[in-house]
Chains A and B, each alone.
With several copies, the nearest count.
Chain A
């Protein structure tokens, strides 16, 4: 399931829902992304996430379908927020549930790596010298390339 929303989410409730009523599931892996207070060496007051409504949902769905194609998942979830967020605020939750821990862990890692380079979100930071757009990290591209090199399970 995917959700793109301005509001915060309840991590405990979301993870609980993912496995509830399905005793086949042996493991739930998750990743929560948070707003950091530093960016490019500067103290950050807040950041604003802009996205491309329509394409965002489409890309997140594609990423989720690909994870389910690669690993035997019983459930998966991506929640990504947009709007103005402050340090410590949650940005994204990725979670996967599977009978087997390796599948859940690998798929969770895959989803967050892939989302970082494919989902159309952009961050601008409120730094002391004014507002500025966050630059891409080359490590993010490399992380996704690593998955692209291993298309098969």
Chain B
């Protein structure tokens, strides 16, 4: 699984990109976010208010129940502010 972080989520987590083997307790977006929060204070801080967090799996916006498979590209970022 490839993880990408953008904007202030990237800044708080301290990296733009990482690769993992899918942990056994992760099967959807919710469980992925829960697992990430436990990885350190930067993650916990970045993910403390999930109202300000958006997730895309394989470049499509998804909700908390969306399944996660090994090999997925998962991006985590704040609401967009382009245009």
Contact = CB atoms under 8 A, between A and B. Distances in A.
- Are chains A and B touching directly in their complex (CB below 8 angstroms)? yes
Interface of A: 33, 49-52, 54-55, 58-59, 80, 91-92, 101, 112, 115-124, 133-136, 140
Interface string B10-32: 00000000000000000000000
A121 B56 contact: no
Interface of B: 4, 6-8, 56, 59, 61, 75, 77-83
Contacts of A134: 81
Contacts of B61: 118
Nearest to B54: A120
B81 A121 contact: yes
A123 B80 CA distance: 8
Given A118-B61, A134-B81, A136-B78, 19 more contacts: A33-B83, A51-B82, A52-B75, A52-B77, A55-B59, A59-B59, A91-B82, A115-B83, A116-B82, A118-B80, A120-B77, A121-B80, A121-B81, A121-B82, A122-B6, A122-B78, A122-B82, A133-B81, A136-B79
